[in-house]
């Protein structure tokens, strides 16, 4: 059956059954409450137009601005055995203070007189180099003397050769003269013999002419013999000149060969000296590594290899030192979607762990217990967690950071962006939009400059 009656029978039965419903229907809203609701609505509406500072919140930790001011691991350059510790955890050390002493464990360096013996070997080899240098100098002097003596001997042999050549010329002229004299004497004898046959000359004159002819012939033969002797002397002078030149070339070549052999030995000795000098320097520097010293002023925070008599290898971490003077900074990690919104020089509000704070993220001016910072650097690549690291340094225009801060403490960073109305920020968050990103014309011109 359809219920088409204008009166709800179920509702009427409920009102008769329950008194609370009848009392609520009997009451009416007071004008004061209506004004209160209207005022609250107007205040909420006005609040929607209040400015709100967009920001990017991210967790981070306290670090130092420069790598040299961060905690450092002391390492041993050489392998060795720990003999004695000179500090304990918490001690303050200055640059150059001894941290610990180690002893040698490699058999190549066990000799306690290793440096002295190596120095003696080096001095001996340097003396050998000096001896080779003096020998080279002596050979140079010998070669110079041979060259000078050879030049004099060659000049002397050339003089003898020229004398022999002149003597041959003189003897050949004498031979020509004697041949002419013999020819004249022979013709005179022939004429005298004809006159004797005709009876015009006596036999005595003929015999005198024969004697003159024979004397001229003997003189010619003597001149020819003398010429042959001079020619032999000329040949001997030429042979002597060649033998002198060959002999001195041989002597000079031998001296130069000895010189080059000595130079080769000298270069080998110099190479050995250089190698030994390098070895001696290495031994000297290694002996300085037996004492591990502090690289800078700081505090010994943790000892990693504590056992006396414990063997350690090269590059083994021994202890940790925290520098005394460090310019603190905060490293925070932001998502890739927020990275384009940030640039160096942007303001950041920081809340440190252990320092009470009242934070209104949208109204940084009304927050209490936060500290100012400026973005100093932004990494160009992501971290292992897929975020980008932002390095924040203290804001010099804001109040200083707490002096009791320690490296490694936690922090929360709020990178301040643009100022927008609250209704816009609510609308952006409801729709999941990123914060506004724009640069003013002035900032663009400064970047271009």
Q: Which two tokens stand for residue 367?
A: 């927050």
User: Given this model, what pLDDT does residue 446 score?
Assistant: 47
User: Given this model, what pLDDT does residue 438 score?
Assistant: 45
Distance (Å, whole) CA 142 – CA 388: 78
User: Given this model, what pLDDT does residue 201 score?
Assistant: 74
User: Given this model, what pLDDT does residue 437 score?
Assistant: 52
171: exposed, middle or buried (C-beta count within 10 Å: 0-12, 13-18, 19+)?
A: buried
Distance (Å, whole) CA 195 – CA 189: 10
User: Given this model, what pLDDT does residue 313 score?
Assistant: 84
User: Given this model, what pLDDT does residue 4 score?
Assistant: 53
- The angle at the Cα of 30, spanning 28 to 31, to the nearest 5 degrees, equals 135
Distance (Å, whole) CA 15 – CA 7: 13
Number of other residues whose CB lies within 10 A of the CB of residue 417: 19
Q: 416 in helix, strand or coil? A: strand
- Give helix 9-17 / helix 19-26 axis angle, nearest 10°: 100
**CA-CA distances (angstroms) from residue 319 to 69, 220, 298, 315?**
16, 117, 12, 12
Per-block mean pLDDT, blocks of 10 residues, the chain (449 long): 50 58 59 78 77 75 86 86 88 89 84 84 88 88 84 82 84 84 83 79 78 84 84 83 82 85 88 88 85 88 80 85 86 82 82 73 63 87 83 88 85 75 73 57 46
63: exposed, middle or buried (C-beta count within 10 Å: 0-12, 13-18, 19+)?
A: buried
User: Given this model, what pLDDT does residue 306 score?
Assistant: 67
Distance (Å, whole) CA 255 – CA 145: 11
**Going from the N-terminus, what domains does the chain have, and what CATH number goes with each?**
53-67+326-448 (2.40.30.170), 72-104+290-322 (2.40.50.100), 114-288 (1.10.287.620)
> Which residue, among 339, 393, 345, has the nearest Cα to 371 in the 3D structure?
393
Residues 6+ apart with CB under 8 A from 265: 132
Residues 6+ apart with CB under 8 A from 248: 146, 147, 149, 150, 153, 154
Report the half-sphere exposure of 416 (CA within 13 A, side-chain side).
20
User: Given this model, what pLDDT does residue 447 score?
Assistant: 47
Distance (Å, whole) CA 50 – CA 21: 42
Q: Report strand pairing: 291-293 vs 98-103.
A: antiparallel
Are 367 and 360 in contact by the 8 Å Cβ rule? The answer is: yes
């Amino acid at each position: 059956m359809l219920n088409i009656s204008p009166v709800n029978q179920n509702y009427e039965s409920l009102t008769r059954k329950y008194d609370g419903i009848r009392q609520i229907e009997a009451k009416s809203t007071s004008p004061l409450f209506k004004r209160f609701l209207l005022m609250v609505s107007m205040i909420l509406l006005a609040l929607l137009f209040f400015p709100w500072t967009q920001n990017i919140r991210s967790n981070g930790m306290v670090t130092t601005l420069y790598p040299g001011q961060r905690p450092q691991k002391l390492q041993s350059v050489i392998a060795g055995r720990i003999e004695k510790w000179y500090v304990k955890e918490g001690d303050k050390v200055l640059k150059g203070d001894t941290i610990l002493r180690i002893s040698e464990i490699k058999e190549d360096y066990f000799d306690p007189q290793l440096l002295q013996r190596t120095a003696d070997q080096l001095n001996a080899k340097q003396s050998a180099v000096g001896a080779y240098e003096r020998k080279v100098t002596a050979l140079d002097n010998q070669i110079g003397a041979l060259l000078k003596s050879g030049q004099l001997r060659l000049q002397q042999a050339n003089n003898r050769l020229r004398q022999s050549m002149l003597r041959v010329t003189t003897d050949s002229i004498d031979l020509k003269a004697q041949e002419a004299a013999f020819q004249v004497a022979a013709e005179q004898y022939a004429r005298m013999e004809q006159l004797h046959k005709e009876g015009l000359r006596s036999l005595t004159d003929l015999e005198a002419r024969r004697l003159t002819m024979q004397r001229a012939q003997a003189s010619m033969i003597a001149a020819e013999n003398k010429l042959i002797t001079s020619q032999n002397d000329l040949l001997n002078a030429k042979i002597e000149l060649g033998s002198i030149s060959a002999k001195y070339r041989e002597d000079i070549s031998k001296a130069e060969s000895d010189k080059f052999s000595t130079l080769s030995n000298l270069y080998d000795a110099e190479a050995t000296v250089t190698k030994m000098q390098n070895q001696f320097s290495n031994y000297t520097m290694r002996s300085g590594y037996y004492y591990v010293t502090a690289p800078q002023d700081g505090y010994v925070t943790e000892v990693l290899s504590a056992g006396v008599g414990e063997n350690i290898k090269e590059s083994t971490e021994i202890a940790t030192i925290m520098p005394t003077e460090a310019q603190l900074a905060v490293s925070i990690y932001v998502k890739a979607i927020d990275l384009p919104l940030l640039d160096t020089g942007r303001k950041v509000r920081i809340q440190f762990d252990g320092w009470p704070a009242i934070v209104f993220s949208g109204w940084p001016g009304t927050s209490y217990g936060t500290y100012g910072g400026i973005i100093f650097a932004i990494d160009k690549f992501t971290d292992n967690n897929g975020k980008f690291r932002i390095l924040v340094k203290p804001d010099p225009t804001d109040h200083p950071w707490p002096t009791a801060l320690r490296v490694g403490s936690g922090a929360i960073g709020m990178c301040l962006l643009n100022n927008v109305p609250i209704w816009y920020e609510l609308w952006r968050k409801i729709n999941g939009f990123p914060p506004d990103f724009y640069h003013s014309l002035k900032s663009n011109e400064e970047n271009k400059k």
